Amino acid sequence: MSTVVLRGFGWRHAGRRAWAVRDVDLRIDDGERVLLLGPSGAGKSTLLAALAGLLPADSGEQAGTVEIDGRSPADARDRVGIVFQDPQTQLVMARSGDDVAFGLENRGVPAAEIWPRVSDALDRVGFPYPITRSTAALSGGEAQRLALAGVLALRPGLLLLDEPTANLDPAGADLVRTAITRSRSSSTLILVEHRVAEALPLVDRVVVLEAGGGIRADGTPEVVFAGYGDRLADEGVWVPGFPLAPQRAIAGSPTSPLAATRAVARAVARAVALVVAEDVAVDKRLNDVSMSVSAGEVLAVTGPNGAGKSTLALVLGGLLAPTGGRVSAFGDPKPPHRWRAATLTSRIGSVFQNPEHQFVTSRVADELAVGPRRLGRTPTEIAGTVDSLLERLRLTKLAAANPYTLSGGEARRLSVATALATAPRLLVLDEPTFGQDRRTWIELVTLLAELRDEGHAVVAVTHDDDFVRTVADRTFALGELSGRPA
Amino acid sequence: MTFVTQPIGNPAAPLARRNPVAKLAAALLFSLPLLSTLDPLTPAIALVIELALLPLFGLRHAVLARHVWPLLLAGAGVLVTMVLFASDRSGTVLVGLGPFDVTTGVLATALGLILRLFAIALPGIVVFATTDPTDLADALVQNAKAPARFAIGALAAFRLLPLLGAEWQMLTLARRARGVDAGRNPAAKVRLFGATAFALLVGALRRGGRLAVAMDARGFDSGLPRTYARRQTFTGADTLLIIGAAGLAAAVLATTITLGLFRPII
């Protein structure tokens, strides 16, 4: 167990004018379990990196002091363990047991002690496979469990968790939270997490960082949320007890009691189906699917991992050729995957799960101009489109920024904006609300509802129950793909 | 895109079980001396020995053949190049094609080159086809005293390689989704390929950076002497394998020299 003391701590990354975090005075005692909150950009991750001794002195400027058990973080590295967001870039070895052993080898633990400590750590996180299990064959949630085991095996006095479930689907996130609970770790814990309701059972104290520096609130969850809950919710923290307003289409609501009205609405919708899929299949990724999407509706595609949801999104988006069945759209005799790219973007916009995959330029404004330019729009038209999209998605201030330097929420908004730049009638999104803070979430859902009411069709692959509840007009559930290799 | 990341042979075979460093040293000692001569007999004898030893490494010829198709392709490439560009077109004309006459001389030169290519590449392929990458890194650190930072770091990077295939597909699809395609214009195709490759590289560097931070967070840069969770032992049998490889190489060269066919490269 470790004690953490910060006095007037601040950090400014080299080459940046603004401090990432500053004026933090904080004492965390042995065995305390702290949830660290704050609006996006308040410096939560920087603070964790500082505690983990991962901010080299030459990479920025420090103010004040940080002490872990009276030592500087650089000297206390062996007492601190940290788990990051991305499971893919935390695992080092090809076999699960070897990966847990990696940290023990680095710390010079005698060989005879390594394997008992490996099995103990794997047992504590509830890792369900033998130690020879290939790390490449693990799901995201399992990989994060393994990463946690790798850190617990080192018996850290201070355990830092930097949004450990942000990249996981709900089932995977549950696995990791269960693992944190069942590990019965006696370490001092500092957790950064947007999803407060799910994190609360793991902590006994909440600390809220202020965006401009300093600490806004500190205390038990009850006290902090009673005093600051509404402001935190406005700033994007998922504070429990703040409901989300439904954004249903005015007509054709699925909760309408009049079955006859619904039948009429459906008949009308079918008449304006933008895309129709008949028995569409993709080898080993998607079983036969028949569906249609109509103008003026938000369709949520749900289903377990590996059911082929993302594959279906690629097929509907005209990006992947189905190996069976047919897709017809916009009255074109050719299926979407055979269209020229420019034609495709004028009809169907796709938003990928990882926004970074989608960026092709080095400036936010250029990114929005790519699509319209490909369609041969005039420079005046392009400038108009770019400006109005920047405005609509609150990106005007970032027009000259590099897309790769944006925060998660900003990158998501930009990726949606790039798809809208060519004004497609159909929008296909893969997990649009995934990992977003509450503020970005509400903005996205409102935007999609507006697009729907303007007569666009929206297809969203999603695991997010809140999304389905608030904005989806119809849900299409994909079943488990049978005969899938493990 | 696929990569051979796991051994394809029977890991319990007598020579497959040998220490990875010993296998690597034996492969080098056996194949490097072959470079000293230009005659076709030396690589031919070496190749016969290599193929005869495959079962001792737990490799079936058919299984190996399926994995060495790039080598077969390279062999075919050598043949085509020789037919098109060989300056020595002596010997009997087999197929009359004017400036591209296929003669016995051309075929003999091509055959010599292909045999050399196969004989020199095969030992290395056998090592990697019978060795788990983790075992190789362990043995390099423990038995060959390679720096752990290099060997384990390379191993971790190697683990990220298979991700590149999926990443490439994603980047290609995303570009199409953004309205960027080359159509039938070959110059645009090259540009698009370059841009996608650059994006792949940038992504790989970012991932590599994150992995490096995660490794250091678990003490990879602690500077303490590392301990070994997995022991790699270097036994008398491993020494014998190396001596055997050197001996076989010497015997092959001795045969060629005795028969007077040795053609030194310099």
Put simply, the answer to whether B227 touches A375 (Cβ < 8 Å) is no
Among chain B residues, CA nearest to A110: B227
Whether residue B237 sits in one domain with residue B263: yes
Chain A contact probe: residue of B176, B207, B210 with most A CBs at under 10 A: B176
Are B19 and B238 spatial neighbours (Cβ–Cβ below 8 Å)?
Answer: yes
> Whole-angstrom Cα distance, residue A412 to residue A419?
11
Are A68 and A4 spatial neighbours (Cβ–Cβ below 8 Å)?
Answer: yes
pLDDT in the model for residue A61: 93
Q: What are A39-63's pLDDT values in tens digits?
A: 777 888 899 999 999 998 888 999 9
Whether residue B222 sits in one domain with residue B167: yes
pLDDT higher than 80, residue A435: no
Q: Is B156 on the interface with A (CB under 8 A)?
A: yes
- If one counts the domains in chain B, the total is 2
Domain that holds residue B154: 149-229
Whether residue B179 sits in one domain with residue B94: no
User: What part of A 150-209 touches B (C-beta under 8 Å)?
Assistant: 150-151, 154
Among chain A residues, CA nearest to B223: A106
Average pLDDT over residues A66-87: 92
Whether residue B51 sits in one domain with residue B103: yes
Whether residue B128 sits in one domain with residue B5: yes
Whether residue B96 sits in one domain with residue B12: yes
Are A146 and A172 spatial neighbours (Cβ–Cβ below 8 Å)?
Answer: no
Chain B contact probe: residue of A105, A107, A119, A402 with most B CBs at under 10 A: A105
Q: Is B170 on the interface with A (CB under 8 A)?
A: yes
> Whole-angstrom Cα distance, residue A409 to residue A401?
14
Closest by Cβ to B214, choosing from A77, A84, A94: A84
From chain A, the residues in CB contact with B231 under 8 A are: 111
User: What part of B 181-200 touches A (C-beta under 8 Å)?
Assistant: 181, 183, 195, 199
Whether residue B220 sits in one domain with residue B171: yes
Among chain B residues, CA nearest to A405: B206
pLDDT in the model for residue B260: 87
pLDDT higher than 80, residue B36: yes
Q: Write the Ramachandran bin of A38: left for phi over 0, alpha for psi from -120 to 50, otherwise beta.
A: left
From chain B, the residues in CB contact with A404 under 8 A are: 202
- pLDDT category at A468 given cuts 50, 70, 90 is very high
Whether residue B93 sits in one domain with residue B203: no
Among chain A residues, CA nearest to B135: A94
Q: Is B92 on the interface with A (CB under 8 A)?
A: no
**Phi, psi (deg, nearest 5) at residue B184:** -105, 10
> Whole-angstrom Cα distance, residue A382 to residue A372?
6
CB atoms within 10 A of CB A155: 19
Taking alpha carbons only, the member of B99, B116, B102, B107 closest to residue B47 is B116
Q: Is the dihedral of CA A369, A375, A376, A380 positive or negative?
A: negative
CA distance B49 to chain A (A): 33
For chain B, how many residues are written?
Answer: 266
Whether residue B187 sits in one domain with residue B211: yes
Q: Is B52 on the interface with A (CB under 8 A)?
A: no
Q: What are B208-253's pLDDT values in tens digits?
A: 999 999 999 999 988 889 999 999 999 999 999 999 999 999 999 9
Q: Is B215 on the interface with A (CB under 8 A)?
A: yes
pLDDT in the model for residue A47: 94
Residue A351, token pair as written in the block = 């938003």
Query: Which residues partner with A158 through β-bridges?
Result: A80, A188
From chain A, the residues in CB contact with B225 under 8 A are: 108
Whether residue B34 sits in one domain with residue B98: yes
Closest by Cβ to A422, choosing from B174, B179, B218: B179
Whether residue B216 sits in one domain with residue B88: no
Whether residue B82 sits in one domain with residue B195: no
> What is the percentage of chain B residues whose pLDDT exceeds 90?
46
pLDDT in the model for residue B107: 84
Per DSSP, the three-state class of A321 is coil
Closest by Cβ to A371, choosing from B160, B178, B220: B178
CB atoms within 10 A of CB A357: 19
